[in-house]
Amino acid sequence: MLSGTRANIAVKIFGADLNRLYTISKEIQSAIVGIPGLVDVGVEPQIEIPQIQIKARREMLNHYGIHVGHFNEFVDVAFAGEKVSEVYEGNQRFDLLLRFDENNRGKIENIKNTMIDGANGQKIPLSYVADVVSTTGPNTINRENVGRKTVVSVNVAGRDQKSAVEEIQQVVSEKIKLPEGYRIEYGGQFEAEAEASRTLVLASLLSLLVIFLLLFNEFKSLKTASIILLNLPLALIGGVFSIWVTSGILSIPAIIGFITLFGVATRNGILLVSRYQNLQEEGKPIREVILEGSVDRLSPILMTALTAGLALIPLAIAGDLPGNEIQSPMAKVILGGLLTSTLLNIFVVPVVYYLTNKKKGNEI
């Protein structure tokens, strides 16, 4: 819908001459076909079909007092036909077309001898005011924003679309010299993916801000909220690692998985820190607070992490099955983030909390 092609990437060439456009398209196809990760590189076929072209001779039209609009309307109605009504036969409906019969439009000589009305009512053969020639022409002419175009369609496999587009642009700019009046535009599914990626990045930043504000409102401490948010980079470690060892592509489902990790990692931090604060309010020393609080929250943290992880394993390992193109990358990111966030949360957060809350006389 965005680019007029079903391919991931559409290289659109605009210009006036269809033959030149087709030649440039073939040059682009030859230039990019060797780029790694590109498959199904093809050019829209241009098939020459027989045609009869009627080209107006404007000086003769002016001589006989025939307006160009009247000439075009006459040719259109006489040979292409115009719908004037509809005919119903039972439940079927047929268009009633007004046009010349086959004897007057079936042969080029008959077309040349077709009479058109002049300004004074005289009948003038069509060949007097137009050149009627038998030739060949393209089966289709594609346009976008009024301009003629051809499309080189490309699919991507085994790599992300963004880097593929960037490499295509680099190769085309180096190897293809465009004539004056011709230009290249890039479209396709990667446009929607790029827009969705920008939206998700903005949503990620917004979610971080909302999480931080909620934590600050709950604990009334910038230091405590920052300690809890320390879980986010711990979760990102596992998410990034899972992408690196699997597909190596940061896709939209993977970004959604990272957003999900924000909530899971923050929950683990809240479990620990809230328990630490409750024990501190009881007047216990910081060392005892860390040890007792960590032991108390170990089981809930491991239980929730294992529950989520076991539920995601079937989705992660079934990535090659139809219908799992979205769930599988997201599940892999969440699994990797859960692993590192849970393990590092047990060690890193207690240490940071101790270092930021220890007082004289309570040091280990």
Most confident range, picked from 94-98, 139-143, 190-194, 261-265: 94-98
Residues 299-356 have pLDDT tens digits of: 888 888 888 888 888 887 776 666 666 778 888 888 888 888 888 878 888 888 888 8
Higher pLDDT, 201 or 139: 201
Averaged pLDDT, 240-244? 83
State pTM to two decimals.
Answer: 0.52
Residues 80-139 have pLDDT tens digits of: 888 888 898 888 888 888 888 877 777 888 888 888 888 888 888 888 889 888 887 777
Q: What is the DSSP letter of 151?
A: E
DSSP letter for each residue of 35-98? STTEEEEEE----EEEEEEEEE-HHHHHHTT--HHHHHHHHIIIII-EEEEEEEETTEEEEEEE
Per-residue buried b or exposed e for 101-113, using 16+ beta carbons within 10 Å of the residue's own CB: eeeebeeeeebbe
Question: Is the alpha carbon torsion for 70, 73, 79, 81 positive or negative?
Answer: negative
Q: Are 244 and 199 in contact (CB under 8 A)?
A: no
Which distant-in-sequence residues (6+ apart) come within 8 Å of 85 by Cβ? 96
